[in-house]
Amino acid sequence: MWIEGRLVENNQTVRLQVNGATIGNIEAVNLDTSVWIAPGWIDIQVNGYGGYDVNAPGVTPESIIALTRLLWQRGVTAFCPTVITASEEAICHSLEAIALACERDQRVAHAIPCIHVEGPAISREDGPRGAHPRSHVRAPDIAEYRRWQVAAKGRIGLVTLAPEYPQAREYIQALNAENVVVAIGHTAASSEQIQEAVNAGARLATHLGNGAHAQLKRHPNYIWEQLAEDRLLASFICDGHHLAPAVMKAMLRAKGIGSSILISDAVAVAGLAPGLYETPVGGKVELLANGRLNLYGTPLLAGSVSSLPECLANVLRYTDTTLSEGVRMVSTHPGQLLQLDAREKRGSVVSGSAADLTLFRFDAATGDIIIETTLVQGEVVYQRLA
């Protein structure tokens, strides 16, 4: 199979050969095309989409498979299903459903490189806790983590926690020794506690700027500390609601493109029509016509309903990021964090790399991104109808 388009990285028009699950020859050709070819997009934080909820009590392997296929339509070739703060029984139920989905469908297994567990060792304080239920917040427990891995059949690869717990250092070191990425998030930690976590092996700041108090001491505070820490990568929700455009621009400049990852942090209501919805964790929520999801009857955010291409389009609107830089934040950088570049040659478009590809158009007039084709392991899993 041959694909024609324009490489995002260097603006070169090419014919690209797909040999099975890998990229074969890439030939420079003269083409008049508006189709961009990018490495497959990777979203490291997805709670749900299109009505499918990773954390629902009734989550099944079939719903995880359906979720994966919906995300392919949004150009996402790989994602980390994100299991949030809940009882151990509920967490293990979600983990088991994801693991079974991967066993039943090889391509879904490829599209789920690992599972992200966000919590339950997060701050109990209003603000940093976000929409996570206070009743299930608890200290990090290595024995519990090991039980999660049994339920997940070893598929947990990313864990977000607040490092202010006395057990945090030992917990981070234990997970780090098992090659699990540890992220800081939903925290009210002091600067010293954040530094101790990074020294212990924490590598990522989860949705930096969110999961925070409404009002903070101007400095020092935990946002500045994570923003300035060069050993931490940072993920950002650029949906236009979680971070104001000026905040997104300033944070991205401070952290640097090379240390930044875009995420959707999408919840199950994402992709649905505006209206009122009941959610298993947040209760009643209202999806507004402008794409903002609020706890019903309040101005408080109840989650993100943007997909990764919408977040990419927004970062191009709000900042001085180039298209190639933006694409690296949704492909190369998350792939490097999860070591998919080294293990599976994902995250680049060169001969011999994985044929996980996202083909899209960028409408300069509207700023919208339109997904044309998604390939996973060299197979077309989504094709936009003309």
Secondary structure of 239-286 in the HEC alphabet?
CCCCCCHHHHHHHHHHHCHHHEEEECCECCCCCCCCEEEEECCCEEEE
Give CA separation, 218 vs 30, 222, 223, 358, in Å: 54, 10, 10, 41
Considering the candidates 43, 105, 265, 341, report the single residue annotated as catalytic.
265
Is 93 annotated in some ligand binding site? no
Give CA separation, 322 vs 11, 110, 374, in Å: 12, 29, 22
Q: Residues 291, 355: contact at Cβ < 8 Å? A: no
Is 211 annotated in some ligand binding site? yes
Give CA separation, 328 vs 9, 42, 56, 332, in Å: 9, 10, 32, 5
Structure tokens, 77: 């070739």
Is 186 annotated in some ligand binding site? yes
User: For this structure, is 32 an active site residue?
Assistant: no
Is 278 annotated in some ligand binding site? no
Is 119 annotated in some ligand binding site? no
Best CA proximity match to 92, nearest among 149, 46, 48: 149
Nearest 5°: CA angle at 154, between 132 and 80? 50
Q: Which residue has the tokens 């790399």?
A: 353
Is 210 annotated in some ligand binding site? yes
**How many whole angstroms separate alpha carbon 252 and alpha carbon 254?**
5
Is 118 annotated in some ligand binding site? yes
Is 4 annotated in some ligand binding site? no
Is 132 annotated in some ligand binding site? no
**How many whole angstroms separate alpha carbon 236 and alpha carbon 260?**
7
Best CA proximity match to 266, nearest among 295, 234, 309, 323: 309
Phi-psi region of 376 (alpha: psi -120 to 50; beta: other; left: phi over 0): beta
Which residues are annotated as part of the binding site for substrate? 131, 210-211, 218, 242, 301-303
List active site positions.
265
Binding site for Zn(2+), by residue number, is: 118, 186, 207
**Binding site: what residues are annotated?**
118, 131, 186, 207, 210-211, 218, 242, 301-303
